[in-house]
């Protein structure tokens, strides 16, 4: 397991590319493609693509038979067709295409969200592992401190309050370690399931990207919102789909001819034939009829539904613009947070160099008659300083991932493991 001293070296940027790469971490990121939600969305997108068919100009067609007075011979046969609204066929074609594009973009969006969550999960897990290790070191230190205090019970330097505080601190740390260890075990099980390995014992810290590299990337690379980043494209496709749906429903309400009927009345035809045979005036066309239904726009309903749909469509557009503004603001905040955290980290590093607690500890160990409690205080300060630096480091990593997200680099091809100094590529 990792030690605080490893984090000190790592955060100082002293890990070189010569270390073995963390392949398991990249494998975990790569497993995003196998996420059940993404697989299900892929099947859904395929179904939408397969069932997107051309719409004919005729919306509905019926064949009717009319019988009067149970006269089997004198029946009327009618074909009734319902034409679509003006531009409805074209509007539906555009809507179908927009839906296919939306479903494909949704698949990319879900992949992106799952990948981002995996990045953050890795960082959180590494920080939890560091926390448990620091608890272990502090527990050992507190146990040593309690033993020293108990040996000083008969001394004038003994203070009962200090012993009680040390015991309380030990109990608190022990409980926190148990709780944190349990959380880590639960996460291990989830990660093992995602990796399909059956077992998982944590990610290695060897090869992680250094603070110096992140600082260089933030300073050298222009940080701008990518208008085509996955989230914005997904929201834009959603807005475009709502627009196409509105145009389609608008075309549906532009139906002027509600129906057309073509009828043939066999009874009328027989009557006219009978008149012809009796040498009376006749007209065989009497057996044929055409009925047309025309809607009166000022009396037809559905305008309220269309108005509600337009409001919903405009709300989607407003939501897209709001998300775009929020992402821009968040990008600037995350970038500022990275710079501030790097400054904190550099301050902690400088303070460690100036104070040199580890050198003080070695110096005390070489002295005769050294106060063991003072030695333990120095050691505790060394552990906590390392923990504080590591905590700042992981906060930098999180903000780095957020910035990569909104700038479109996180899922840009070829995809890279941005948590590693080498930024090795992996295929999604």
Q: Which of 193, 177, 171 is nearest to 131 (CA)?
A: 177
Q: Which of 64, 19, 397 is nearest to 6 (CA)?
A: 19
Q: What is the pLDDT of residue 11?
A: 35
**Is residue 132 a contact partner of residue 181, using CB atoms and an 8 Å limit?**
yes
Q: How close are the terminal C-alpha atoms of the chain, in Å?
A: 29
Phi and psi torsions of 371, nearest 5°: -75, 115
Q: What is the pLDDT of residue 299?
A: 60
Find tokens 């613009």 and name the residue: 321
Q: What is the pLDDT of residue 22?
A: 61
| Partners of 63 in beta bridges | 79
Q: What is the pLDDT of residue 115?
A: 93
Question: What's the Rg (C-alpha) of the chain?
Answer: 38
Q: Which residues have C-beta within 8 Å of that of residue 32, sequence separation ≥ 6?
A: 38, 111, 114, 115, 118, 428
Domains in the chain (CATH in brackets) are: 4-256+295-406 (1.20.1600.10)
- Buried-state track 126-153, b at ≥16 Cβ within 10 A, e below 16: bbbbbbbbbbebbbebbebbbebbeeee
Q: What is the pLDDT of residue 282?
A: 85
Residue 193 has a CB neighbour count (10 Å cut-off) of 12
CA distance 31 to 11: 28
| Partners of 299 in beta bridges | none
| DSSP label at residue 286 | G
Residue 357, preceding peptide bond in cis (omega within 30° of 0):
no
Q: Whats the size of the chain, residue-wise?
A: 428
Phi-psi region of 290 (alpha: psi -120 to 50; beta: other; left: phi over 0): beta
Q: Which of 101, 117, 110, 103 is nearest to 37 (CA)?
A: 110
| DSSP label at residue 32 | G
10-residue block means of pLDDT along the chain (428 residues)?
35 36 80 86 82 69 82 84 81 86 91 93 93 93 85 70 83 93 90 83 88 89 77 86 83 79 88 85 87 73 66 76 85 88 88 62 57 79 87 94 88 90 82
pTM for this prediction = 0.74
Q: What is the pLDDT of residue 21?
A: 39
């Amino acid at each position: 397991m990792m030690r605080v001293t490893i984090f000190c070296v790592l955060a100082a940027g002293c890990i070189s590319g010569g270390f073995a790469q963390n392949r398991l971490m990249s494998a975990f990121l790569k497993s995003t493609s196998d996420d059940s939600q993404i697989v299900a969305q892929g099947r859904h997108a395929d179904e939408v693509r397969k069932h997107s068919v051309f719409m004919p100009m005729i919306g509905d067609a019926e064949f009717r038979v009319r019988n009067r007075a149970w006269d089997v011979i004198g029946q009327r046969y009618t074909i009734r067709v319902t034409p679509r609204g003006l531009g409805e066929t074209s509007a539906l074609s555009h809507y179908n295409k927009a839906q296919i594009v939306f479903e494909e973009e949704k698949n990319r969006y879900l992949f992106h969200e799952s990948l981002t969550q995996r990045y953050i999960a890795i960082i959180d897990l590494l920080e939890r592992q560091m926390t448990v290790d620091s608890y272990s070191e502090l527990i050992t230190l507190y146990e040593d401190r309690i033993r020293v205090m108990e040996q000083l019970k008969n001394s004038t330097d003994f203070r009962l309050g200090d012993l009680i505080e040390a015991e309380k601190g030990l109990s608190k740390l022990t409980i926190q370690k148990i709780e944190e260890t349990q959380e880590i075990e639960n996460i291990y099980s989830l990660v093992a399931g995602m990796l399909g390995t059956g077992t998982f014992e944590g990610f290695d810290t060897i090869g992680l990207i250094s603070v110096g590299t992140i600082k260089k990337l933030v300073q050298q690379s222009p940080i701008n919102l990518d208008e085509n980043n996955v989230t914005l494209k997904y929201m834009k496709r959603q807005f475009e789909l709502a627009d196409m749906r509105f145009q389609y429903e608008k075309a549906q309400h532009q139906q002027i001819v509600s129906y057309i009927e073509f009828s043939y009345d066999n009874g009328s035809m027989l009557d006219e034939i009978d008149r012809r045979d009796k040498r009376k005036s006749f007209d065989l066309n009497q057996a044929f009829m055409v009925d047309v239904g025309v809607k009166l726009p000022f009396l037809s309903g559905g305008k309220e539904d269309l108005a509600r749909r337009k409001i919903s469509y405009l709300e989607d557009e407003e939501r897209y613009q709001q998300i775009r503004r929020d992402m821009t603001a968040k990008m600037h905040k995350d970038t500022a947070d990275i710079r501030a955290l790097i400054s904190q980290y550099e301050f902690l590093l400088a303070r460690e160099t100036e104070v040199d607690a580890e050198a003080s500890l070695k110096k005390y160990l070489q002295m005769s008659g050294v106060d063991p409690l003072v030695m333990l205080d120095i050691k505790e300060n060394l552990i906590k300083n390392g923990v504080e630096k590591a905590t700042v480091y992981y906060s930098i990593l999180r903000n780095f991932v957020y910035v990569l997200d909104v700038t479109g680099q996180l899922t840009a091809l070829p995809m890279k493991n941005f948590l590693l100094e080498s930024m090795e590529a992996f295929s999604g």
